[in-house]
Amino acid sequence: MTQEFATAQDVEDAFYDALEEGDAERLRNVWESSDEIVCLLPMQPMLHGAEVHEAFRPLTSGEIRLDIQVRHIRWLEAGDLAIHFVEERVSFSGNPPQPPVYALNIYRKGAAGWRLLTHQNSPTPLPPGSGPPPGMATP
């Protein structure tokens, strides 16, 4: 049974809910059913298609419980694509939250409604006093 999403925001809500619930089927259903999906996490290889679902498996194994706070930063919409910049604060199994990370989620509207097309995380700046920020090493 697949859920249909009327808006990109509905997909985003379902994505983070499924992660918090560790619900593998629901998590898989938020993604577009295609080889074009992309997941990019810092220092990890870029993942495509079925690799994406594989990568999320540890988060739905029941061993880790996630609590995710999402803060919306910027939305861009054009036609059948929606681009959401958010900030995530994630706690694992009741521990204090990890440093916040930026996430860029891109949604696409297809025959089956809106679905998640790409998910990308980026580290945020170090907190003040924890050392000099790295230079602008690459354009």
Q: Which residues bind a copy of itself (CB under 8 A)?
A: 19, 36, 38, 40-46, 48, 55-56, 58-59, 66, 68, 73-74, 76, 78-81, 83, 85, 88, 90, 98, 101-102, 104, 106, 108, 117-126, 133-134, 136-139
Q: Least distance to a copy of itself from the beta carbon of 55, Å?
A: 7
SS3 call for 17: helix
- Which residues are paired to 66 by β-bridges? 92
Residues belonging to the chain:
139
Spatial distance between the Cα atoms of 49 and 116, rounded to a whole number of angstroms: 12
Q: Least distance to a copy of itself from the beta carbon of 3, Å?
A: 19
Spatial distance between the Cα atoms of 11 and 119, rounded to a whole number of angstroms: 12
Residue whose CB is less far from a copy of itself, 1 or 138: 138
